[in-house]
């Protein structure tokens, strides 16, 4: 990790970016809301997973989290006071469809309606993510995203939400990180629902992409001037060496990590080489699915955290390609993720070259460090501030080189429930004291505020 003694990068300034650039922070429902049993909310796959011993490192869950369900006015105030002009949040499906079929739950709709009004009152442009991993457990009990019927259930949810909020929310993200939903949740198994079957994972990925594609025209039908996109978790992928075996392994990994999602979204279908590599694990694709998935969108959301280095490893499931941990001495965060701002520049320029996706937004980027409250009651998170500064510089470099990026959402507004890591890992620009629910802006958040004010 870097130390406080590391030299400060020369600071980026707001005027390095267009005057209409969007500046936001991002959060997600299960990670911050709490109120897991309130106003009719039903169990999600994350409630079930977190209640399963050994799945979440500190044995915690999102049952209370940041209690944002009750404290949201204060949290939106933090965003406004930081000078943000946009805010990315997600909608908890289990608050909206609380029983088999039937009507949406009015209390759930009312919560998001109040939340959106609160954003608009504070000058925060709402960016709604429709699926950030909290599937109703009742749907998982019927196969979850592996079951094609979940696509229809999702569309009913999307219809309800866009009818409810479409007069005030123009920006819609259909899915957050389908790779994680599919591969981490259904093959690697360390996220909900915790399955470990590769074929299931690829069918899940297909149904998630299909639900995205089918949602696009539905959102447009319900929302005047809708702006619709998807947020992908993307990584530059490098080979561990120049040996042909490693180069081939990196290409196999990249085929699944990057092209498996981007190729069908931009009308190319699933990459042939990856289809051959996965063999029998290929998903069932019905006629018309690929056309649906390729529905034109208005933007691409890019979530960037770190690059990956890949080595050939015969037999390593699923593609005989292993992602190596960062080499000793590499600058890493408290997650063990490599700090590589130049990876953001590289990634954005590659996407632009490969797909010309139109406007791109950084829908997540951020870092985890072991924050401490000091004797003055402050969280002086020098490393996170530095991470933020360096990634904004890398972003400005990418834009100057031709990547059409129109906004940046820092992950995250608040410390929160970091999935399998529970509350052991903090990503917020605002510190949460979970015992008291006190909010405390960290140095990184103060720096972002100063940057946005042009100080
Ligand atoms: C992303 C997730 C987000 C958060 C960050 C650290 O993959 O979308 O919810 O957990 O990682």
Contact 293, 260 (CB under 8 A): no
Is the CA virtual torsion 276, 278, 280, 281 positive or negative?
A: negative
Q: How far apart are CA 378 and CA 400, in angstroms?
A: 36
Which domains occur in the chain, in start order? 14-453 (3.20.20.80)
Matching residue, tokens 């890493």:
332
Matching residue, tokens 């954003």:
119
Contact 311, 251 (CB under 8 A): no
Q: How far apart are CA 326 and CA 317, in angstroms?
A: 20
pLDDT for position 4? 47
Q: How many whole angstroms from 157 Cα to the centroid of ligand 1?
A: 22
pLDDT for position 2? 45
Contact 421, 370 (CB under 8 A): no
Q: Which residue in the list 33, 43, 352, 364 is annotated as catalytic?
A: 364
Q: How far apart are CA 24 and CA 454, in angstroms?
A: 15
Burial of 374 (0-12, 13-18, 19+ CB in 10 A): exposed
Q: How many whole angstroms from 28 Cα to the centroid of ligand 1?
A: 9
Note if 177 is an active site residue. Answer: yes
Tokens (6 digits) for 431: 């510190």
pLDDT for position 99? 80
Q: How far apart are CA 187 and CA 194, in angstroms?
A: 8
Q: How many whole angstroms from 449 Cα to the centroid of ligand 1?
A: 22
**Could you say which DSSP state residue 324 is in?**
P
Tokens (6 digits) for 21: 């650039």
Residue nearest to atom 4 of ligand 1 (CA): 418
* Ligand 1 nearest-atom number relative to CA 425: 6
* Ligand 1 nearest-atom number relative to CA 366: 6
Q: Which residue in the list 177, 308, 352, 383 is annotated as catalytic?
A: 177
pLDDT for position 375? 98
pLDDT for position 10? 80
pLDDT for position 8? 64
Contact 286, 215 (CB under 8 A): no
Distance, CA of 87 to chain centre: 13
Q: How many whole angstroms from 280 Cα to the centroid of ligand 1?
A: 30
Contact 158, 213 (CB under 8 A): no
The count of other CB atoms within 10 Å of the CB of residue 40 is: 14
Note if 308 is an active site residue. Answer: no
pLDDT for position 311? 98
CA atoms within 13 A on the CB side of 150: 24
pLDDT for position 3? 47
**Which amino acids bring their CB within 6 angstroms of ligand 1?**
28, 31, 176-177, 180, 233, 303, 364, 411, 418-419, 427
* Ligand 1 nearest-atom number relative to CA 176: 8
| Ligand 1 pocket mutation, candidates 364, 418, 424, 429, criterion most atoms within 8 A of CB | 364
Q: How many whole angstroms from 102 Cα to the centroid of ligand 1?
A: 31
Q: How many whole angstroms from 375 Cα to the centroid of ligand 1?
A: 30
Q: pLDDT averaged over consecutive 10-residue blocks of the chain (455 residues)? A: 56 96 99 98 98 98 99 99 98 93 93 99 99 98 98 98 98 99 98 98 99 99 98 98 98 98 99 98 98 99 98 97 98 98 98 98 99 98 98 98 99 99 99 98 98 94
* Ligand 1 nearest-atom number relative to CA 28: 9
pLDDT for position 455? 87
* Ligand 1 nearest-atom number relative to CA 31: 9
| Ligand 1 pocket mutation, candidates 418, 421, 429, criterion most atoms within 8 A of CB | 418
Strand partners, 321: 312
Residue nearest to atom 10 of ligand 1 (CA): 418
DSSP string, 298-334: SEEEEE----EEEEE-TT-TTTTEEEPPPPTT--B-T
């Amino acid at each position: 990790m870097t130390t406080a003694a590391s030299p400060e990068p020369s600071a980026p300034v707001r005027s390095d970016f267009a005057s209409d650039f969007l500046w936001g922070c991002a959060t997600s429902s299960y990670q911050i809301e709490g109120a897991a049993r309130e106003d009719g909310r039903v169990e999600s796959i994350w409630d079930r997973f977190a209640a399963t011993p050994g799945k979440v490192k500190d044995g915690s869950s999102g049952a209370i989290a940041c209690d944002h369900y009750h404290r949201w006015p204060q949290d939106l105030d933090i965003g406004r006071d930081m000078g943000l002009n946009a805010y990315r949040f997600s909608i908890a499906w289990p608050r909206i469809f609380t029983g088999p079929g039937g009507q949406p739950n009015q209390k759930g709709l009312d919560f998001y309606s109040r939340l959106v009004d609160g954003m608009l009152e504070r000058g925060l442009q709402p960016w709604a993510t429709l699926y950030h991993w909290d599937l109703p457990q009742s749907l998982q009990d019927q196969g979850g995203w592996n079951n094609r019927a979940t696509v229809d259930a999702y569309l009913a949810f999307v219809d309800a939400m866009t009818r409810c909020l479409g007069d005030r929310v123009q920006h819609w993200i259909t899915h957050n990180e389908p790779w994680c939903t599919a591969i981490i949740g259904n093959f690697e198994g360390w996220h909900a629902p915790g399955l470990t079957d590769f074929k299931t994972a690829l069918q899940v990925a297909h149904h998630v992409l299909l639900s995205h594609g089918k949602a696009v025209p539905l959102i447009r039908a319900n929302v005047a001037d809708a702006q619709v996109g998807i947020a992908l978790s993307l990584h530059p992928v490098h080979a561990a060496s120049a040996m042909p075996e490693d180069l081939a392994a990196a290409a196999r990994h990249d085929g699944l990590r990057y092209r498996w999602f981007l190729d069908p979204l931009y009308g190319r279908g699933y990459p042939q080489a990856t289809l051959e590599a996965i063999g029998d694990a290929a998903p069932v694709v019905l006629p018309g699915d690929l056309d649906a998935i390729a529905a034109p969108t208005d933007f691409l959301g890019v979530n960037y955290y770190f690059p990956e280095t890949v080595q050939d490893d015969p037999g390593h499931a699923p593609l005989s390609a292993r992602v190596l941990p960062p080499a000793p001495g590499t600058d890493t965060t408290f997650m063990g993720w490599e700090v590589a701002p130049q990876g953001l520049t590289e990634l954005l320029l590659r996407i632009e070259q490969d797909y010309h996706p139109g406007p791109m937004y950084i829908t997540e980027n951020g870092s985890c460090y072991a924050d401490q409250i000091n004797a003055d009651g402050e969280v002086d998170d020098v490393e996170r501030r530095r991470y933020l500064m360096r990634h904004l510089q890398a972003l400005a470099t990418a834009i100057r080189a031709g990547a059409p990026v129109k906004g940046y959402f820092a992950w995250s507004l608040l410390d929160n429930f970091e999935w399998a890591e529970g509350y052991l890992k903090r990503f917020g620009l605002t510190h949460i004291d979970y015992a008291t629910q006190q909010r405390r802006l960290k140095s990184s958040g103060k720096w972002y505020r100063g940057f946005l004010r042009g100080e």
